[in-house]
Structure 1
């Protein structure tokens, strides 16, 4: 399913932890390691990347050995860039290498504790067109071993849906993934003219979720359903914590999405403010 995966790396501890998990992704055969090198002086108009490029290649070679030990092929890309957003280089390399998934840490070098989503991750989320797995590690600062966490990332997946076409594509995408042990199918009722109206919406949503649950169980995946009332992003984040899910898998867009728009607000808020890894499935690409 994810045969070729791109992992942007800045050689931070967050980037290294991503590499510890990449071998457990369904169907992965090849990993493209990308380091983007910019000038030390952002105002520089002329720049020779020489020494920094050689240093980056050495560090990439070290990380490549780590990935190859997991039985994967590795492509190493050290790319100098005088100006522009690093996201654009990530997108360009993704296109050149034909990757199906970008995997990156939510934060990288120099992160500030109260910033939940680093600038490169944010722009890749908002403007990219590849499926994106944003990894988060609550325990990272404590130095705990992540081996168990990585092996269990697909053990319990929260699948929010608003029953739109993009959400339906994402549900089918997740249902077809190998290694999914359990799925929590989740819908949030966010409006209603009266309590009776809200109750009716909750009942209708529960019936739809139960139908999807039957499909998951027919595929051999344990499934449960939940319907909540409130703000979709807030309820998804709360449910992810309360149910202790290993991953949130959701569509980049929901109802009324327009192809030219950036990532939908719910996917953005969950990715920005949540504490669990998030798999963002791009609308229209979940084939």
Structure 2
């Protein structure tokens, strides 16, 4: 599914949690890892970049060896310049299908890659699926991800708003189902911001319609394997409800589209998917909108 994967880091990346989760990418069919260490000259003004690269080499070699011991073919690279550009170039040259990043509201790399503005041109142009791995818990415990609990296929939470991007993300879920996860939950949030107060009287009607939609999706992924599939509908603020559900149900992986139905609204208030990724203590797999559909929505 994700045979060739880029792991993009900086000298400030908290690597152990990433390493623990990445080892489980074997379940996704991953064979080749590109360990990309990104340096930005503006971040380290006046420092000799060649000397910096030399100093970083032992750390990268250690990371490479650890991942090789897990059965991966690992190729380390140190780049100087735009992380976005380097990731994009490497992905094209090596036919990569997934980018792995650390995710923390405190992380420097997240800001470097996505920028302070959630709706920036940078994030809108990202075309590869992104696996965001949390490296700091709410209690700032760097090692809160334990290797024996970082089983990505234990309980997958799929979020849908029935948008075009959610439909595309569902195609990835279908492929994940082939890997026989233990449990999958299909979750839809009735967005309180859009419904309350003027449409509250129609909430039961919306729930009935969306329950049928979820049932249809469930029937599409039911198979002969032992995967347990549940459906859930909740009412409230999406980010808060998603994070709460994930924390209380031992979700091991959240899968969602990066751009929902409220695209224009997200431009101004920030993307639900990006806020989930920043706050979640479970890894988040963000599936971007196919380019042809993205341009159709933006222009329409």
TM-score per shorter chain, which class? Answer: 0.7 to 0.9
Which of 237, 247, 256 is equivalent to 1:250?
256
Task: List structure 1 segments (4+ residues) > 4 angstroms apart after TM superposition.
Answer: 39-44, 142-145, 261-264
Mapping of residues 229-240 of structure 1, within 5 Å: 229-240=235-246
Deviations 1:198-236 (A, max 9, x none): 110011111111121122222633111111112222221
Matching of residue 187 in structure 1 with residue 188 in structure 2: yes
Which one has more relative contact order, counting CA pairs under 8 Å at least 6 apart? 2
Whole-angstrom distance in 2 between the partners of 1:154 and 1:262: 34
Whole-angstrom distance in 1 between the partners of 2:41 and 2:4: 29
SS class of match (1:187): strand
Mapping of residues 1-287 of structure 1, within 5 Å: 1-10=1-10, 14-25=14-25, 26-39=28-41, 42-44=44-46, 48-81=48-81, 85-107=82-104, 116-122=105-111, 124=113, 127=123, 128-137=126-135, 138=137, 141=141, 143=143, 146-150=146-150, 152-177=151-176, 178-190=179-191, 191-192=194-195, 193-218=198-223, 220=225, 221-255=227-261, 257=263, 265-284=271-290
Whole-angstrom distance in 2 between the partners of 1:269 and 1:37: 25
SS class of match (2:222): helix
Q: Tell me if structure 1 keeps the 8 A contact 2:132–2:283.
A: yes
Q: Which residues of structure 1 form unaligned runs of 5+?
A: 108-115
Alignment TM-score, normalising by the size of structure 1: 0.82
Query: Across the two proteins, how many residue pairs are aligned to each other?
Result: 269
SS class of match (1:245): coil
Structure (1 or 2) with the greater helix fraction? 2
Q: Which residues of structure 2 form unaligned runs of 5+?
A: 292-300
Q: Tell me if structure 1 keeps the 8 A contact 2:17–2:142.
A: no
Q: Tell me if structure 1 keeps the 8 A contact 2:156–2:181.
A: yes
- 1:58 deviates by 2.8
Q: Tell me if structure 2 keeps the 8 A contact 1:253–1:264.
A: no
Alignment TM-score, normalising by the size of structure 2: 0.79
Q: Structure 1 pair 122/100, CA: closer, same or farther in 2 (3 Å)?
A: farther
SS class of match (1:188): strand
SS class of match (2:24): coil
Whole-angstrom distance in 2 between the partners of 1:103 and 1:252: 15
SS class of match (1:23): helix
SS class of match (2:79): strand
Q: Structure 1 pair 101/49, CA: closer, same or farther in 2 (3 Å)?
A: same
- 1:49 deviates by 2.1
